[in-house]
Structure 1
Amino acid sequence: MSAIDLSVPQFRPVIETEQDRRKYQRVDLELEGCFLDEASEDHQLVTENLSCSGAYLRAATVPEAGANVICYFDDLGRVAGTVVRTSKDGFAVEFNVVPHKRKKLADRLSWLINKDLIEVPEQRAAARFPTGGPAFIGRKDGLQIPCTVVDISLTGASFETNGQSQPPPIGEVVTAGNLRGRVVRSGENEFAVNFLRPDEDDV
């Protein structure tokens, strides 16, 4: 099995914490879908950006501000919302969801973004997603560690070594392709990292 190429030049980690900021930070993600207006008429849409609390949608038909819509997104599912802002070629919608549904949306967005990052097939929707794919992790001394990706979320990932390489210590900044992450857990044959923002220092 060949190792996964983790190089994604334009990827930008945009969420800083699992608990709070990932719930509301919008990410650029293009999904096709449709929405039902208040007359139950169907219209095509494409997302420009979205979060678990709302989205900006491009559409040929733009409902009025304050209108209630039901959106159907490919790979994300059905979400009810209210139009909060409009433009000539699209509109912003605020999702009307309960906290449990909001968390599921956040988890699902984590997967949709990172599944392309590490080029692994989708398996299930959860807060962290198992992958089982191989990868190489670069240490600060230049050593490349062959690993298996155990799971990944929007803010970090965990890895398992083959037993022949020593996991990096807690606090070390490692690389996976063009991504950088700080080791936050290190055991006998496994370790976990939190992704760093592009403007975040290694120290």
Structure 2
Amino acid sequence: MKKPTGNTPFAATLDIRFVGAVQGRYVLPDSGSPTVHSCRTASLSPSSVVIAAAVVGKVGERVVLRLEALGTLNATITQIVPGGFRADLVLDDAGRVHIASQINWLKRRSLRQAGNKREGQRLQPRDPKSHLYVDGQEYECFVIDVSPSGIAVSASLAPPVGTIVDVGGLRGRVVRHMEGGIGIAFDETHEATSLFEALTLRPPANDRAG
């Protein structure tokens, strides 16, 4: 699908906003760690972005984002919000015009995809925040996507393949590492309608993985 070329007049760019999820990854170069984390947008404009993520930096810290269909963006964290952070994009006028055209494209794509959900596909919860339990310890995690048979999450650690873990009230085993997260296969298949609620649960302390 051909994307727009970005000829929106600059005067109109600040009024354009996409409210929705764009999948991506990011690094926090000022932290000194090369770790790549997964994320998704909550909202996006030509001047700023709100990111849902489990690992957040500090206000004033640089963040390098790589968002689907948008490419690499440099930004500065301006606010820590529940479940993530807000960042100002570092762009010149031409860059803002280009992002504005991409936002228009994202909005049109979102309308086309609405109602086109296939049974069994990987799902993205409205609230991507959950908790990962490893060896009896609890960590905040970001849910990349989930299906009746497994889940992909991003957290501040990546347990070895084979480790038994809980994500919310769902138990499984780490089956792969990937850039920005880990893949977990559930011990049993779950009904799709119950997955999102299960992600909000916390297993009893005496029944947590590990």
If you compute each CA radius of gyration, which structure gives the higher value, 1 or 2? 1
TM-score range, shorter chain: 0.3 to 0.5
Which structure shows the bigger proportion of residues in helix conformation? 2
